[in-house]
Copies of this chain bind each other. A is one copy, B any other.
Amino acid sequence: MMQHFDKASILEAESFFRRDFINGLSGYKSLNLIGTKSKSGVSNLSPFSQVFHIGATPPLVGVLFRPNTVPRHTLENILETGFFTLNHVTSDFYKDAHQTAARYEGSEFDATGLKEFYLEGFYAPFVSLSPLQVGCQLVETQTLQVNGTVMVIGSIEHIRIDEKGLREDGSLDLNALGTVTVSGLDEYHIGKRLSKLSYPKPGKDLEEIL
C-alpha cells in the first residue's frame, strides 16, 4: 500500500520525523571515516556518508559537507592542511565509527581506541584497522547557493587495500572486505551480493558475471 506525501505535508510533519525521512530517501549510502590532522597536530576522525566518485583519470573524489552539522573540524583541517583520508568501515568496528561522531574535545582516535597509521610525507592519519584506505589532497571547493553545503574535491594520492578485496579486473569485492553501508543517520548494514551484470546493450540479454 503506497502512502503519498506532498510538499505541504512534509513541511508540516514534526522536525525529527522530517529529518529522518528526508535523510533516508537516497537509499543505502557509502560509509567512510575521514581522517585529518589540525595544523597544531591534533588528529581527527569523523564518519561521512556523502563521498562520491568524480573521475578516474585523473583519480578524483568528492565529499559533501552540510552546513551547521557537527563534523566541521574535518572541513577546517582539510582547508588548513590540504590533506585527508577516507577509510572503509567494517562490522568489526562500526560502533567505534559511529562513536567518533560524538563531540570530543581531543582526538577521536584516542577516545575510541582506533589506531592511526601514517605514510611518510602524507600529513593526514589513516585508520589502521580499515581494509580500504585512500589518501587525498585538496583540489577544489564549491559552495551551494541554496543552503551553504560545501563540496570538497580531492585528488587520490594513495590507496591501501586488503588484497582479498581487489579483483584482477580492478573491481572491488566489498562483501569480502566486509565494508559497511549506512541508511539514514544511524542504521548500519552489510551488503549481500545479488550479481555483477554484463554491459547493457539494446536487444542483448544480460549475463551474470559473478
Q: Which residues of A contact B (CB under 8 A)?
A: 1-7, 10-11, 13-32, 50-62, 64, 66, 86, 88, 91, 94-95, 98-104, 111, 132, 134, 139-140, 142, 144-147, 149, 151, 153, 155-163, 166, 169-172, 174-175, 179-181, 183-202, 204, 206, 209-210
Contact = CB atoms under 8 A, between A and B. Distances in A.
Contacts of A98: 197, 200, 206
Contacts of A59: 7, 10-11, 18, 22
Contacts of A134: 25
A14 B56 CA distance: 11
A24 B95 CA distance: 23
A139 B7 CA distance: 15
Contacts of A99: 200, 206
Nearest to A177: B27
A186 to B, nearest CB: 5
Nearest to A210: B187
Contact of A202 (B23, B88, B111, B160): B111
Taking the full assembly, how many copies of this chain does it contain?
Answer: 2
Given A11-B58, A26-B61, A99-B206, 6 more contacts: A22-B156, A28-B174, A142-B142, A151-B151, A183-B191, A187-B197
7 closest Cβ contacts across the A-B interface? A17-B170, A27-B30, A189-B191, A20-B170, A28-B181, A24-B172, A21-B170
Counting chain B CB atoms within 10 Å of each CB, the highest count among A59, A60, A102, A151 belongs to A59
Nearest to A30: B27
Contacts of A24: 171-172, 174
A108 to B, nearest CB: 10
Contact of A166 (B21, B151, B160): B21
Contact of A199 (B186, B187, B209): B186
A118 B3 CA distance: 15
Given A26-B30, A62-B64, A2 B163 contact: yes
Contacts of A5: 158-161
